[in-house]
Structure 1
Amino acid sequence: MLSRALRCAPWRSSPRRLLSAKAAAARRTPLFDLHTEFGGRMVEFAGHQLPVQYAAGGIVAEHKHARESAGLFDVSHMQQLRVCGVNRDSLVSFLTVADVAALAPGQACLSLFLNGQGRIMDDLIVSRCREPHFYLVTNAGCAEKIQAHLDHWAGVFQARALDVRLEYMDAALMALQGPRAAEVLAKGVIDFKLADLAFMHGRYATVFGVQDCRITRCGYTGMDGFEISVPPQGAMTVARALLDGPLVKPIGLGARDSLRLEAGLCLYGNDIDETRTPVEAGLMWTVSKRRRQEAQQRGSEAFLGGEQLAVASATKPEVRRVGLLGLEGPPARHGAAVFAENDGDEPIGVVTSGCMSPSLNQPVAMGYLRRANSAVGTPVRFEIRGKRYRGVVAKMPFLPATYYTGGLR
């Protein structure tokens, strides 16, 4: 879990401390040399060596630079794959809640893998490519579990004489995020105009001379930006070109976490996991009306976990994921108990992610509260190191989203 990694990371005690044995044994991404060149403080995260922050400024400075200009994130630890074959639509439709039939060529969506109990196995991005395949990006921490899951069901489909194939990709993945991101990336893309690329749409292109890249207009910060999949041998070329000038700086895991939390976005393993349903997590918006109707009519024949999701969505959940603002004291972190304003002995919920917001200069968090205590404006108290501090249930995102609203659709 990233929040825990940040609290326990070895760099807190000494900025020049050598990698731990665990971090040293982790995989290097294609951008590892770039991280060391910029003084990245490396930790093990999801089996990879990744920078928590860089030497030049620190987490808060990186966070603010991304918000004000643009930041480059190494997200090569994420699992990328293509789903191919004549029956690829059927496989993706069965394994995710995505409304595959509604996705136009080039369009992407945030979706969920559900288990047989209708709970969240992972969140992912599903892209219907103009080429004959889907492009999926799943979380690194779930890679082994999800690969086994995908392989199993692909085998089931193949045993039924259905034509499906999975192609796991060996590619770097970087995210360029911030208000100046398009301006910088446009200098390296000549195949099409970035202004024509709508939010949650993508296409293949040559980027700064590197062929076979895929650009998707999306991200994990609540801002305009792009995720760029790059053949590993070209990753350093693209990254160096993006960093050539003052507009873009490299951004580590620490600022990535605070940026996504300000945007109200979930981190798998902290805010969602296999104990939570999309209803509790406030993610039913990822399930279209048509898919909900399919689940009600066909249950788990429509998609895995569909029957259980239909049952869960028919009743109000006992708990809900909510935003939380701290009104005093330190930020409430993952695992902090939340109490009602009257300081009762029984917790009404738990914090799943929290930090001091660099943009608001105020503690922000998200977590799960009993439904009766979950309305925006409800006063609460956080228990932090044996003391209780005032807070309030707040609307998410904590900052207005600035996603790109133009482009061709």
Structure 2
Amino acid sequence: MGPAERRARLADRHRLAAGHRAASAEAVAESLVALHGTDPATVYLSVAARLRTPGTADTERALYEDRSLVRLLAMRRTMFVVAESSAPVVDAGAARAIAADERKKLLKYLAEGGGWDAAWLAEVEAAALAALAQRGEATAAELGAAEPRLRAQVVVARGKPYEATQNVASRILRVLAAEGRITRRRPAGGWTSSQYRWAVGTPLPGPPAAEARTELVRRWLAAYGPGTEADLKWWTGWTLTAVRGALAASGAQPVPLDEGAGYVLPGDDSPTPAGEPWAALLPALDPTPMGWAQRDWYLPEAGPLRACLFDRTGNIGPTVWWNGEVVGGWAQRADGTVAHRLFADRGTEAAAAVAAEAARLGGWLGDVRVTPRFRTPLERELSA
């Protein structure tokens, strides 16, 4: 199963061709399993790129009115947004173990930073939850006013060049959210803001961990297959043993790939019918380029052009796609213009389609300015 087949699958499965775009934010999230939420803007941009009618209103509705999209600290200890229907599986298969680990780290952080123990933490958490229940919603600052111990500060990396003083509230609220005991509501600012209001949450019911991992692998294979063990290990953050166990339980079918053995769902090895050509402008950290550890089949050849798409820690920036291949990058300028650069000549049809997508994106963004949280060399250059 070569690169051409893998690229062809993205048109439908990732909702990227115009004829396969979705009618709702929930449909986009279900198709991709999970939307990257580390940068709040990514969720909106990823959804809009795949909607028949792009914009932010449908994502706002799903996140904050219907609450049919759920934020979870899940795979690889990364923030994701998932459809409500998928949340129990993602929670049980990935998020619960991470939440337990985060609590252990928090207790160590508090003990080393301020000499506080589990009993102190339990009192602070109870007070914060009581304040939230009384208020309905509150910012971290408002909770700190209600429970002063949330304003306690600790010094981290003492004596090192990157020594810093941190407020304990952010760490405590992060763990409560990871456990589902509190949940994010609308941000204090616009849709690009990460300053959320909080409300009391309810931990998700879900299947046993092994069963959830198997189901999560099935969903990943449906959206991203074929993929390798290495791809799944990277995407999930699991051990290789856990990946192999879930693959075996899912009944995954082996297929040969350029990089070695890959897997698809049983019977999902038929060629994809030829479809309409398509172009897409995807944001930094979009689920499509972040779906696999091994990315040669859709990225440009190794070299300076490829390197400029990533930041220093390997986060991918905004990308331009043509028929399942990354052919360039894009950025928004201060005047709102969506600028792009193509690395390869794919003909006049491709250039025109990319230009149309840039205009489509710039049109619905309007007065909003989006700067990725993790900036890449090409994005910085194009936005100047």
Measured against the shorter chain, the TM-score band is under 0.3
TM-score by length of 2: 0.26
Report which of the two has the higher share of helix.
2
TM-score by length of 1: 0.25
